[in-house]
Amino acid sequence: MRVLGVDPGLTRCGVGVVEGVAGRPLTMLGVGVVRTPADAELGHRLVAIERGIEEWLDEHRPEYVAVERVFSQHNVRTVMGTAQASAVAMLCASRRGIPVALHTPSEVKAAVTGSGRADKAQVGAMVTRLLRLDAPPKPADAADALALAICHIWRAPAVNRLQQAHATAARRAPRTSAVPVRKVSR
């Protein structure tokens, strides 16, 4: 499985590609950051992010794209920028028919470090160890993108089995006819 992880951001959008399967050693195929100038117009920044992600999709041809799910922060402006960059990543993948998975920061941290409260240094250290790198990827956004890809590779098989089980149960469930409900007035 080849996954492009995207840690969305307007100034620095982390991207990383990891290949492998759960239970086996993983391989990093690429890592980087799509940067935009903080003083540029918002629309231009989003176009720059789109171009950057499209280049990564062209070069690495991932089977899945894992994007960090936007969560509430104290700074609404930061949340909006993150959400906009996240939407660009989802749009680029969906336009190509590539499935998109959203993972929360705590879910990614727990998958990679064993603790949903791990700090950036711990995530970077575990990404370095898991991918057998010489040093943690810099900046932290790049390491976070790799962590997203790792999380998806490890969690996707279990999620797929759960979805299949739900679909099978839904097909096997006895079909009941809807009983009309009559409203009674007093």
Instruction: State the catalytic residue, choosing from 7, 39, 63, 119.
Output: 7
For residue 160, CA distances in Å to 46, 68, 163 come to 32, 19, 5
58 included as an active-site residue: no
Q: What is the pLDDT of residue 58?
A: 98
Question: How far is C-alpha 146 from the chain's CA centre?
Answer: 10
pLDDT band at 162, cuts 50/70/90?
low
The pLDDT value recorded for residue 1 is 96
d(C-alpha 63, C-alpha 96), whole Å? 10
| 176 pLDDT more than 90 | no
Q: For residue 184, what pLDDT is reported?
A: 67
19 as an active site residue: the answer is no
Tell me what pLDDT residue 163 has: 67
Q: What is the pLDDT of residue 182?
A: 63
Q: pLDDT tens digits, residue range 52-97?
A: 999 999 999 999 999 999 876 677 878 898 999 999 999 999 999 9
Per-residue pLDDT tens digits for 95-122: 999 999 999 999 999 999 999 999 999 9
What is the per-residue pLDDT across 135-154, written as a single tens digit (0 to 9) for each? 999 999 999 999 999 999 99
Q: What is the pLDDT of residue 71?
A: 76
Per-residue pLDDT for 2 more than 90? yes
What's the rounded mean pLDDT across residues 35-45?
Answer: 97
Q: Does the annotation count 7 as an active-site position?
A: yes
- Residue 179 is predicted with a pLDDT of 59
CA distance 62 to 98: 8
CB neighbours of 110 closer than 8 A, spacing ≥ 6? 116, 118
Amino acid at site 5: G
Mean pLDDT of 9-18: 97
With a cut of 60, say whether residue 43 has pLDDT above it. Answer: yes
> Which one of 41, 50, 59, 68 is the catalytic residue?
68
- Closest to 103 measured CA to CA, from 141, 61, 70: 70
